[in-house]
Amino acid sequence: MGEESPTLDERTVRREPPRDGRKATAAGTIADKYEILSPLGSGGMGVVQLAWDRVLRRKVVLKRMHYELASTPGYRERFMNEARAVAGLKHPNIVVVHDLDFDEQGAFMVLEHVEGEDLASLLQRRGRLPWKEATALIRPLAEGLYHAHRQGVWHRDVKPGNVLLGTDGTVKLVDFGIARTRHQHTFGVSGMGTPAYMAPEQFQEGELVDHRADVFALGKLWHQLIAGGKLSPPGQPPRLEDLTTLAPAGLNAILARMTAADPGARYYSLGEVLLAIEVLLEDRDRTVPRIEVQPRPRSTYRRPILLAGLLALGLAFWVLDRRPPASFEERFAVDPGKPAIEQTVVEAEARVQPSPLGAESTSPASPPITSLQPEPRRKELQALLDAGKVARAAALLEEFARRGTLEDDLAALRRRVLEEVNYRKDHMPVVPAGCFSMGRQDGRYDEQPVHPVCLEGFRLDRTEVEVGAYRRCVQAGACAPPVAYSEFCNDRRPGGETHPVNCVSWRHAVEFCRWRFASLSSEAQWEFAARGRGTRLYPWGEDPPDCTRSHFSSERGPGCGASGTAAACSREPDRAAFCDLAGNLAEWVLDWYNDGYYAHSAERNPLNEEQSTERVVRGGSWYSRPEELAATARSARVPAEASDVIGFRCASPLED
């Protein structure tokens, strides 16, 4: 079908609003701009029309309520909310809202047009799809929904009729007519949807309904694409045995978790589903046959509309953009010792290029080697130190020594670099590259949503930086002394040499790590070190804190921290041999704090560099309550604050 401009009838003029709103489907011009080409569908709530935008010379889809409903405040507000919500969801797998306009009949949405058919038509034509073709359709839908969820929007009506397939291979999710945002608490029964795809909680009055209803619906749709035939009863998981001979066991395991009756047993995040899909495809041929899509006949196609909810008008239409590559390009390998439906994130090894956090803009570069002449190898030395690559810097300094070009100041630098190399081997355990689910489903609002994160490997100090180590930096002139404002500031306390340093600002911490050719860890690195690839609540596991594992408040909980810190690493190390990740001192990390950051955090090596008024603090302290020791708990302080409950530890990149 070409995009040539239709011949405009010169007698076509803007019409007065009809008294009977159902006449809105008739041919005409809307808002002096949109030439109606044909109706696409209508129902009890509204109409959808194919139109020609005479200004931008392109086909569009117009969606509006019936005239009677348009004058009803409740319906009108919901319609406007849908337009606003979808307009903010800029993603190649979600239909684009071009505009929200008004005429005598009220508001109407202008949406992009997709040349092709909907998934319901494809299913009717083919019955069922090979599992790889089905997965090729589900993956972009999961990506689009995941993006919507991260923006706080749930769809709540995922079904074949709301999936558009472009003739160019694009897959688009449409019709957010009964969508809700995280700020609009929705409960069962009141929500509505298409019963065959609704999650059990949507049928239960008073049950909280959130984005996990979309996870359920997408799983049921995936099953339908492969199995074909009749769907399981509304609110019930699909019959997984139907796929025994049609799909690999790993796919069945994913579907079992997506469609669990209990929302708490499902994948919390569609990002986890995307990770699982990558694992499913890893050892198989990733090539997927192109799905043949039939464009709608220009004059005869009329898609029937299934209304679900107050404003589900049923759109059938559009698209030009192609789906981008999958979000995760790395290789993901499942631990064979764990069942695929275990309630932990899929463990993975990420193949990523080094971009050391030690060189992030939030962490100043290492001190310049002022005596070096602008000779290329010496510039290389500075670059290595700036990037925290001390082993390679040590090798280069050794080369200078062999050549007899090691000046006095470089000899001193060489001693420091070698000292750091040895320190890292003995006191900075390696955290291998991997992926995990960051955040906590039942945690505070700023710990949500749970989202997948993949990190490069790194090293992290086994212990919080001790007073003795910090004093050496002060004596070297590279660090400012702690602000001894309290009796609990360890720098002035008798016997404080082996205690972690506190009463230091974020800048103090950055300067110390810089002196060591390192940086503070990112928030994601810190949580990964504390939790590993599982979902444990504390660094040691799920058991509540006690004084054998953590040094925390005896005034605000059953702890032992009434009089300040304990010596560094005086409690049992955690599973990865780190000490005091929960308790003793809370810890500065690199990131700026934003309570909604998790909704748009990057998936690879995230670091929040969007400036705010506070930096993130992690880990709980000697003054913390037990719940504040959770590995997911976040707090924040003004960077200039030097507190007797905050310290830090340093991180460094792995070297090639």
Contact 52/29 with Cβ under 8 angstroms? no
Contact 546/518 with Cβ under 8 angstroms? no
User: What is the signed CA dihedral for 239, 244, 245, 250, rounded to 10 degrees?
Assistant: 120
- Rounded Cα–Cα distance for residues 632 and 455 (Å): 17
- Rounded Cα–Cα distance for residues 329 and 369 (Å): 38
Distances (CA, A) of 88 to 76, 180, 335: 19, 13, 38
- Rounded Cα–Cα distance for residues 457 and 432 (Å): 4
- Rounded Cα–Cα distance for residues 49 and 181 (Å): 27
Q: What are the tokens at 54?
A: 């005479």
- Active-site pick, 53, 103, 118, 157: 157
Residue with tokens 């905050």: 646
Q: Which strands make up the sheet holding 634-637, listed edge to edge?
A: 634-637, 615-618, 586-592, 646-647
Contact 268/437 with Cβ under 8 angstroms? yes
285 catalytic? Reply is no
- Rounded Cα–Cα distance for residues 482 and 565 (Å): 16
DSSP string, 41-77: EE-SSEEEEEEEETTTTEEEEEEEE-HHHHTSHHHHH
How many residues are there in the chain?
656
CA angle at 318 for the pair 317 and 322, rounded to the nearest 5°: 145
CA angle at 307 for the pair 151 and 260, rounded to the nearest 5°: 55
DSSP string, 436-455: EEES-TTS-GGG-S-EEEEE
- Rounded Cα–Cα distance for residues 200 and 263 (Å): 9
The three-class DSSP label of residue 82 is helix
Q: What are the tokens at 652?
A: 């460094």
Residues annotated as part of the active site: 157
